[in-house]
Amino acid sequence: MDENTKQQIQRRRTFAIISHPDAGKTTLTEKLLLYGGAIQSAGSVKGKHGDKHATSDWMELEKQRGISVTSSVMQFEYEGYCINILDTPGHQDFSEDTYRTLMAADSAVMVIDAAKGIEPQTRKLFKVCAMRGIPIFTFINKMDREARDPFELLDELETEFGIGTYPMNWPISCGATFQGIYDRATRQVLTYDDFHAGRSRLETVAIPLEDEETLVERITETYLETLKEQAELLDGAGEEFDLGQVRKGKLSPVFFGSALNNFGVEQFLESFLRLTTSPLPRRNAEGGMVDPLDDHFSAFVFKIQANMNKAHRDRISFLRICSGKFQRGKEYYHLQGGKSLRLSRPQQMMAQERDVIDEAYAGDIIGVFDPGQFSIGDTVCEIGQNVRFAGIPTFAPEHFAIVEQIDSMKRKQFSKGMTEIAQEGAIQIFFYPNSGMERVVVGVIGMLQFDVLKFRMQSEYGVEYLRRDIAHELIRRVRNPEFNAEDYDLTSDTMWVKDVRGGDLLIFNGSWAVRWAEEKNPGLILAEFHQDIQEG
Ligand code: G4P
């Protein structure tokens, strides 16, 4: 590999920012973009208020609801690093996309509200990160407000998530009495003359912890005493810093700060970039690992987005480059399609704009127009290479509804829409065996996905339908060949459906119905829904 390509790959940092809604993910992302000079004013990334529009708000639905439904990628430069931030949806609802985005990241930044600690979605997202064993950095936000005790917050992370924590800095009080933060590596107290929510970095005064004379001029004495005690406690009783453990996702470096007021943000960004990894190797299902510094280009599709731009009706497939260098116009091989192809109009998100690009490197995400050839998890590589990426799981839906067409004149459009959207994998659509397509079962992870489906069926296929939510909540794959539900003793409300690939599934009204199926039918082989798409 030539030196330039190697350097380009090594300076890439691709990560996702995750949080429960309102913890401050958007604000932190915005500050990082501001520092990198990628956007000019605060508010550019916000999607919540008035006419400010979010960078990632492409779909009409997002604008109507003022939320970010899809995930996007933002690339910017900072002090020699080339940073790709993968944005995950920040609204109340979850989708498969949220999880899949994490499959494309090499590390994650978990934003936590200091007053609230771990919240339900932090928990869900953490699980996916832990499953992949990627480094997880924690930013405890909103220290300018009344916060929970920092020791208690660390304890919660450790006990709930079963990981070690290493506070990189330490807050000196919080809320109205907030005085600054203590940087453990340099043993300096960082104080600020003036908090502000603006774009520029904060004017920071750094004073060594030993320099008490200067410190007492800026920090209330009792807080200083407390800080000294706490710093000693951390050094004595806390975890050792171990980069190896950080890289394995077993030890989370923790930063306290306030995204809104800029404090702690710069220190966070700099430490984070230093400690996180350049693009990680990926498992090759054909055997071995794919090294990002391998000469040969390879990538996998982690997300398919329909209709991002009204002017183009095509879908855009997002590929995470895993090795080598991508060159526009070059012929590559689409493994699952068994065809060579040139990717048309490859694009990259440069903060606010989408640009057509000529080259991209391992760690980067590119979006390509896709007339329908790709499915989630597909591999694109150089001709003659034996690469097949493994490990994009599909997650079990948690809510189900029966969706029925209204207008029999639109039968074709209804079944085309449902089938195509099912193929994208953004929403799970199941079909009744031995019956027509006028009724299907839809499964989603977040209820909002029902709205996305409705909107897309209307706007892309011109179809209205009836939706009836059902109380069923558990889904299992059936591993028996030639399965027919009528041959088994199942509760009357258990539903037998097929997925888009023809696989058999059972949807149950509750865990007791699953138990019934298992107990009454010793020959029935049920498996978790969750599986690797590529193995499915
Ligand atoms: P999210 O993407 O994780 O959903 O959170 P977001 O950044 O949108 O932040 C949620 C709310 O919390 C916003 O207030 C934001 O201004 C506020 N916030 C973020 N970081 C901090 C912080 O460090 N300190 C304080 N005090 N507040 C913070 P909002 O009222 O919903 O929106 P806005 O009117 O401020 O834009």
Q: Judge whether residue 205 has pLDDT over 80.
A: yes
Residue 243: the pLDDT is: 96
pLDDT score, position 92? 53
Task: Give DSSP secondary structure letters for 226-254.
Answer: HHHHHHHHHHHHSPPP-HHHHHTTSEEEE
Highest-pLDDT range among 80-94, 297-311, 320-334: 320-334
Mutate to test the pocket of ligand 1, among 260, 263, 265 (most ligand atoms within 8 A of CB): 260
- Measured in angstroms, how far is the CA atom of residue 446 from the centroid of ligand 1? 22
Q: What distance in angstroms lies between residue 185's CA and the mean position of ligand 1's atoms?
A: 29
Q: Which residue, by CA, sits nearest to atom 25 of ligand 1?
A: 142
Q: For ligand 1, which residues put their CB under 6 angstroms from it?
A: 19, 21-27, 46, 49, 90, 141-142, 144-145, 258-261
Mean predicted lDDT score pLDDT of the chain: 85
Beta carbons of 16 and 105 less than 8 angstroms apart: yes
198: left (phi over 0), alpha (psi -120 to 50) or beta: beta
What is the whole-number distance in angstroms between the Cα of residue 108 and the centre of ligand 1?
Answer: 20
Inter-axis angle of helices 96-103 and 120-132, to 10 degrees? 40
Fold of the 15-72+90-275 domain: Rossmann fold (3.40.50)
User: What is residue 403's predicted lDDT score, i.e. its pLDDT?
Assistant: 96
Q: Among candidates 295, 380, 391, 284, which has minimal Cα distance to 338?
A: 380
If you take atom 31 of ligand 1, which residue's CA is the nearest one? 22
Query: Separation of 115 CA from ligand 1 center, angstroms?
Result: 13
Q: How far is the CA of 28 from the centre of ligand 1 (A)?
A: 9
- Judge whether 317 and 368 are in contact, CB under 8 Å: yes
> Which of the pair, 56 or 198, is modelled with greater confidence?
198
Atom number in ligand 1 closest to CA 49: 36
Task: Determine the average pLDDT of the residues in 235-247.
Answer: 90
Atom of ligand 1 nearest to the CA of 111: 3
Lowest mean pLDDT among 3-12, 365-374, 402-411, 433-442: 365-374
Q: With bands split at pLDDT 50, 70 and 90, how would you rate the model's confidence at 309?
A: low
- pLDDT of 385-400, one tens digit each? 889 987 677 778 889 9
pLDDT of 250 higher than 70 = yes
- pLDDT exceeds cutoff 60 at 311: no
- Output the CA 23–ligand 1 centroid distance in Å: 7
**pLDDT digits over 456-488, tens only?**
888 888 999 999 999 999 999 999 999 999 999
Structure confidence by residue, pLDDT tens digits, 58-113 = 445 444 443 343 446 788 889 999 999 987 765 555 667 777 888 899 999 999 99
| Segment among 50-59, 263-272, 294-303, 430-439 with least mean pLDDT | 50-59
DSSP 305-361: EE-SSTT--SEEEEEEEEESEEETT--EEETTTTEEE--SS-EEEETTEEEE-SEEE
CATH annotation of 282-381:
2.40.30.10
Q: What is the DSSP letter of 438?
A: S
Which residue, by CA, sits nearest to atom 17 of ligand 1? 24
- Can you give the pLDDT at residue 69? 39
* CA 138 to ligand 1 centroid distance, Å: 17
pLDDT at 269: 94
How far from chain centre, in Å, is Cα 34? 21
Q: What percent of the chain has pLDDT over 70?
A: 85
| DSSP-derived 3-state class of residue 393 | strand
Return the higher-pLDDT residue of 228 and 434: 228
Distances (CA, A) of 105 to 18, 35, 276: 11, 21, 11
Which of 118-132, 196-210, 283-297, 448-462 is predicted most confidently? 283-297
170-192 confidence digits (pLDDT tens): 999 999 888 899 999 999 999 88
pTM score of the predicted model: 0.82
Residue nearest to atom 19 of ligand 1 (CA): 24
Ligand 1 pocket test, pick from 22, 25, 72 with the greatest ligand atom count within 8 Å of Cβ, gives: 22
Look at residues 67, 138, 69 and name the one whose alpha carbon lies nearest to residue 101.
69
**Intervals of CATH 3.30.70.3280 along the chain:** 399-532
CA of residue 63 to ligand 1 center, whole Å: 19
Does the structure show a pLDDT above 50 at 55?
no
Ligand 1 centroid to residue 27 C-alpha, Å = 6
Sequence ranges of the chain with CATH classification 3.40.50.300: 15-72+90-275
Nearest-CA residue for atom 15 of ligand 1:
24
pLDDT value for 249: 94
Nearest atom, ligand 1, residue 257 CA: 23
pLDDT of residue 414 exceeding 80: yes
Rounded to the nearest angstrom, the distance between the alpha carbon of 34 and the centre of ligand 1 is 16
**For ligand 1, what atom is nearest to the CA of residue 19?**
3
Classify domain 399-532 at the CATH topology level. Alpha-Beta Plaits (3.30.70)
Which of 17, 20, 26, 27 is the best mutation target for the ligand 1 pocket, counting ligand atoms within 8 Å of the beta carbon and taking the most? 27
Residue 534 has pLDDT above 50, yes or no: no
**pLDDT over 60 (residue 272):** yes
C-alpha of residue 80 to centroid of ligand 1, in Å:
29
